[in-house]
Chains A and B, each alone.
Chain A
Amino acid sequence: MTTDELEQLLAQQPVSLLHRLARGRVHRHFRAGKRRLIELLLQHSSQNLAGLESDLQTLIAERQALPQRPRTPARRKEEAAPTPPKRQHPPTTGGEPDTGGPAVSLASWLEGIGVPPPQPFVPDPWQVEALAALAEGDVVVSVPTGSGKTYVAIEAARRAMEDNRTVIYTSPLKALSNTKFTEFSRLFGPEKVGILTGDRQENGQAPLLIMTTEILRNLLYDAASGEIDVRLDTLGLVILDESQYLADPERGVVWEETIIFCPSQARLLLLSASIGNPQDIADWLSSIRTTTCRLIRHNKRTVPLRAGYLHPNGKLVPLFKTASIPYGHPNHIHPEAKRLFMQYEEETLPSGRPRR
């Protein structure tokens, strides 16, 4: 989609949707009117229009999956969006009248369950974009869990090593480091991969080193105080996985120290689960590092998620009125789930009434 098409599509959306899109992207977005909001959205996401577009499509799809108020469908016809949003789930089968919210049936909630047909591996646009951006400068990736951040880490590491640069990959937990050590050794060959932990070094001269973030921080301190570690001269890439740990009350400071002292010739790649303010992190990096930092983000889950409610008696019902999760609408609970949960609370709480 071109920028113009995207702008048009944005203009066709109700302002509330634009505000939701702007959350975490545009500072103080609730202050802006519709025109200004669209301008700001395009401006702030100019580096990552694909991400903006995919989030927009998600929001549009969700809106349409929601119970419609009578006037909305009529208006939608004349709008004729350039890319017709795909419905992810068939309409509810119950055939209830369209008043105030027909709720999805269990059968259609469960529909589509199973294994998808095997497909050749094609990197996602955001993965390609992240790798391309890394050629220019630092990159922050903030995408939902299970999207495929490891692929970006692996490809980025491969490219840096082909360039004869060394790579450091850090994870917050020793256990995760071990898993990645096994995985990367299998991929690149055991001679290419080393691991450093608090008390042991294995293959410490390898071009791809795995360690916890604390160990990297210590290495950087040693380098800064003159006990130069040769590997830091050729260091081309530092990957910080699970960097949402930046917000960990006890250990978050280590991520900050690592980022502050990361040598300027090395690219930084921060991989994070969805967080509320990834733009802040990217802006911060841009403000302290020699290159500008690109943010690659999206909130759309690759494998769609549905929520259900399982009663102690074994009865399973959809949790929300819609099959997919109604983002932004916590109260769109399925009437059946609501009834069962109230029954649950009444029977399990001694006072017979819900807490709070």
Chain B
Amino acid sequence: MPPSIHPVDLITALRQKHLTPAIVFLTSRRACDEAMESFDHADIVLPPVRQEAIDAVLQQVIAQYPSVADHPLIPTVRRIGVAAHHAGHLPSWKIAVEELMRQGCLDAVFATTTLAAGVDFPARTVVITQSSIRKARDFTDLTIGEVQQIAGRAGRRGKDQVGFAVIAPSPYIDLSVLTKGLTGHPEPIESQFTITYPMVLNLLKAHPLEQIQSILAKSFAQFQLNRRAESLERKLDALHVQMEPFGPRICTDWITQWQTFDQARRQRPQRHQPHHESPELSARFHFMTPGRVVGLARGRGIVLRQYRSKGQRHPMISVLRPNGTVTECPAAAVVEIFDRVFDCEETSSFPWCSAASFDELCYQLTELPPRLPILPILVSQESVPLPDTVVQSLGDFPCPTCPSRPACQKDFAIAHRLRQEQQRYVKSIQALRASLWHRFQERVDVLQKFGYLTSSAQLTADGEWARLIRIDHSLLITELIRAEAFSGIEPAILTGILSSIAHDDDRPGSFPRISPGLSSLLGQVRKLAESLSPYEDPPLLRADVAAIAERWVADPQLTWIGLCRLTTMAEGDLYRLLARTLEFLSQIHALHATHPGLADTASKAIALIRRGVLEELP
């Protein structure tokens, strides 16, 4: 059996069942291109009327976007009524395909799943061939929301009674991801708020420092953090109630008192060492509380209880697994502790929680999104042994003769655990409430260190213009400007540098040679980026990418086709590179009040970039 259906068979099957037009989502651009090639000798040709209809629409589009005219896919589009639409194509081509789809001229479009969000045209049928997509160099399972976004393109209002999502498997497809995606409830969205340098500068330009905290508090991030803090606060209230029987006794702070006494008592005879347990494990064990989602070598689970093994006193947990079983496993076997805790009503016997909780947890476990945030766990220093003097003075403790001793001895374990928990909650709540503000202050520190802000967090002269650079890698760009790295350079070299900062794709390719001037400046940029890396992630700074952007500006006679021939980069990528570089250049141009020379170079570069295909679209 072939690993996946042949595109010609696919189109034939869809036509036969009247399932066209269809959008076929494929794993890669390459797969889309190969699908188109596979129609070269196919005999499933469209009747002449339909070919003419396609021609008519294409002529209209070409009138507005001449670059569409010579597109190599046009013959196949006309003959078969199928097209490819992916990020490797120019926007004008994508517009042409979208228009053809809108007019009902095509039977199928091959598109990449990565771009599902950018595909803004519906069809009767959507064909799904994969269950994961490449994100940041790694394949991750599609989320429920993503599956529904893809399947949602099926069924055009007013044109279809029903829409169809058809799964045509390809190797490595996981059917359950798709069936879950189709039948599930989309994941809740989580804030991705970050504090950037331009954000800090712009906020401080408009508002005094005292107001900032209340502005940050308006973010969705803080809204969600507050929700979590509130749920912890409720738990904290419950803890207070549990702590009531353990209030002050003969000593007010009897828990600490007993703890010190107990520790001293144990230390004195130098009995056998307590179990060898790494501080990491002890720190992590604290977090393996009932309801916590943890990752094990084989899949995930939810902790139902924690305990210590009878003989060795190893830290152990009982874990609920996705198949509904409860397994006992050493805490050391936990690979990951996730930042996700479900409510769990604990009980003292198997399965360690109430039946209702058990059902709910089983359900939650199957509904968990494929990606979960991992809980960062600080490892505290190994507990310092008590100084000898304390141990010597054991006789000074009132405990041995205290009337409360039996009660203290009995209650200590539980009271101590409760108090620790309480302290942990208080810390977490503080962290949740204040974390954005702390991150803001960290950014302020950096901006002060570099001289964009005064010690009272006012914008310096440099801060005043630097706040206008509101793009990625803003710190690198403003530092380059301050270091006068750009003074007196040619527009082509400025373009080259900015394009290498803007480009964030590490797809390999072959490119033209770089000019010596650009090459040496790029070396300087790399050094600076390296030195800034504690404060800002350095960009890729690819020399080959810089070279191609430089060439486009340096040689105004060069045509788009000529430029494409110089590289193996897809023309869509090339277009995006230059379009993004234009954006960077126009931010530099915005500095005309303070840096007239540089702004002038930028505007020259902008004028030079904007020709041919780059002039077609607004």
A and B from one assembly? yes
A275 within 8 Å of B by Cβ?
A: yes
Contact of B193 among A112, A214, A253, A348 (CB under 8 A): A253
Give CA–CA (A332, B169) in the complex, Å.
Answer: 18
The yes or no answer to A110 lying at the interface (CB within 8 A) is yes
Contact A112–B9 (Cβ < 8 Å): no
Q: Is the CB of A256 within 8 A of B220?
A: yes
Q: Which of B40-48, B148-156, B268-276, B409-417 lies at the interface?
A: B148-156
Q: Tell me if B21 is interfacial: C-beta within 8 Å of chain A.
A: no
Q: Is B2 engaged at the interface, CB distance under 8 Å to the other chain?
A: yes
Known A179-B98, A199-B582, A303-B157; judge A312-B4 contact (CB<8 A).
Answer: yes
Chain A residues with Cβ below 8 Å from B585 are 199
User: A305 and B5: CB pair below 8 A?
Assistant: no
**Once the chains are docked, how many angstroms separate the CA of A311 from the CA of B171?**
12
Does residue B175 face the partner (Cβ distance < 8 Å to A)? yes
- Nearest opposing residue in chain B for A218, CB measure: B470
Per-position binary interface string of chain B over residues 117-159, scored 1 when its CB falls under 8 Å from any chain A CB and 0 otherwise:
1101010100100000000000000000100110111111111
Contact A256 B191 (CB under 8 A): yes
Using known A-B contacts A23-B185, A256-B191, A287-B223, determine if residue A310 contacts B166 with beta carbons closer than 8 Å: yes
Question: Does B483 have its Cβ within 8 Å of any Cβ on chain A?
Answer: no
Q: Is the CB of A316 closer than 8 A to any CB of chain B? A: yes
Binds A, one of B50-58, B194-202, B332-340, B545-553: B194-202
For residue A79, CB closer than 8 A to chain B, the reply is no
Question: For window 178-221 of chain B, which residues contact chain A by CB distance below 8 Å?
Answer: 179-180, 182-194, 196, 199, 202, 205-207, 215, 218-221
Q: Is B506 an interface residue (CB 8 A)?
A: no
Taking the complex as formed, is B525 at the interface, i.e. its CB lies under 8 A from any CB of chain A? Answer: no
The bracket for how many chain A residues form the interface is: 35 or more
Given the contacts A179-B120, A306-B164, A330-B183, A256 and B155 also touching, CB distance less than 8 Å: no
Q: Is the CB of B171 within 8 A of A303?
A: no
Q: For chain A residues 332-356, which have a beta carbon within 8 Å of chain B?
A: 332-333, 341, 344, 347-349, 355-356
Query: Is the C-beta of B586 less than 8 angstroms from some C-beta in chain A?
Result: yes
Does A225 have its Cβ within 8 Å of any Cβ on chain B? yes
Tell yes or no: A17 within 8 A of B by CB. no
CB distance from A158 to the nearest CB of B (A): 20
Judged by a CB distance under 8 angstroms, whether B505 is at the interface is no
Known: A248-B192, A303-B163, A316-B13. A330 touches B151 (CB 8 A): no
A276: contacting residue among B117, B169, B186, B467, CB under 8 A:
B186
Q: Complex: how many Å from CA A17 to CA B327?
A: 31
Shortest C-beta distance, A272 to chain B (Å), equals 9
CA distance A277 to B180 in the complex (A): 18
Q: A144-B148, A242-B117, A314-B9 are in contact. Are A276 and B185 (CB under 8 A)?
A: yes
> In the complex, which residues of chain A have a beta carbon less than 8 angstroms from the beta carbon of B118?
173, 175-176
Pairwise interchain contact B161-A303, C-beta atoms closer than 8 A: yes
**Most interface-central of A144, A179, A253, A288 (chain B CB within 10 A):** A253
- Verify B1–A247 contact, CB threshold 8 A: no
Q: Are B606 and A284 in contact (CB under 8 A)?
A: no
B167 CB–A CB distance under 8 Å: yes
How far is the CB of B16 from the nearest CB of chain A, in Å? 9
Q: In the complex, which of the residues A145, A175, A277, A333 contacts B148, with contact meaning CB atoms closer than 8 Å?
A: A145
Q: Is the beta-carbon distance between B618 and A200 smaller than 8 angstroms?
A: yes
In the bound complex, residues from chain B placing their C-beta under 8 Å from that of A244 are 145, 189
A-contact bits for B465-488, CB 8 A (1 contact / 0 none)? 001001000000000000000000
Q: How far is the CA of A221 from the CA of B470 in the complex (A)?
A: 10
Q: How far does the alpha carbon of A305 sit from the alpha carbon of B160 in the complex, in Å?
A: 10
Interface centre among A202, A276, A355 (most CB of B within 10 A): A276
The interface size of chain B toward A, counting residues with CB under 8 Å, comes to: 92
Using Cβ atoms and an 8 Å threshold, which residues of chain B touch A115?
159-161
The reply to whether B583 and A199 form a contact with Cβ atoms under 8 Å apart is yes
B618 to chain A, nearest CB (A): 5
For residue A146, CB closer than 8 A to chain B, the reply is yes
**A260-B219, A284-B220, A284-B223 are contacts. A307–B182 as well, Cβ < 8 Å?**
yes
In angstroms, Cα B178 to Cα A320, docked, is 12
Contact B155 A280 (CB under 8 A): no
CA distance A348 to B183 in the complex (A): 26
- Contact partner, B206, options A30, A226, A311, A356, Cβ 8 Å: A226
Q: List the 9 closest A-B pairs by CB distance, nearest first.
A: A145-B152, A303-B155, A198-B583, A252-B192, A277-B188, A276-B188, A247-B189, A224-B206, A199-B586
Residues of A at the B interface (CB closer than 8 Å) are 20, 23-24, 28, 30-31, 110, 112-116, 118-119, 144-148, 172-176, 178-179, 181, 195, 197-200, 202, 214, 217-218, 221, 224-226, 242, 244, 246-250, 252-253, 256-257, 259-260, 273-277, 280-281, 283-284, 287-288, 299, 301-314, 316, 319-320, 325-333, 341, 344, 347-349, 355-356
Identify 25 residue pairs between A and B in the complex whose beta-carbon atoms are under 8 Å apart, listed by A's number.
A116-B158, A118-B158, A175-B91, A175-B120, A176-B120, A178-B95, A179-B98, A181-B618, A221-B467, A256-B220, A275-B189, A276-B188, A277-B188, A302-B155, A305-B162, A306-B164, A308-B165, A309-B167, A311-B169, A312-B2, A312-B3, A312-B6, A327-B183, A355-B172, A355-B174
Residues of B within 8 A of A (CB): 1-6, 9-10, 12-13, 17-19, 91, 94-95, 98, 117-118, 120, 122, 124, 127, 145, 148-149, 151-169, 171-172, 174-176, 179-180, 182-194, 196, 199, 202, 205-207, 215, 218-221, 223-224, 227, 343, 356, 360, 467, 470, 579, 582-583, 585-586, 606, 617-618
Given contacts A199-B583, A247-B191, 10 further A-B contacts (CB under 8 A): A144-B152, A175-B94, A175-B118, A195-B618, A199-B585, A303-B155, A304-B161, A347-B1, A348-B171, A355-B174
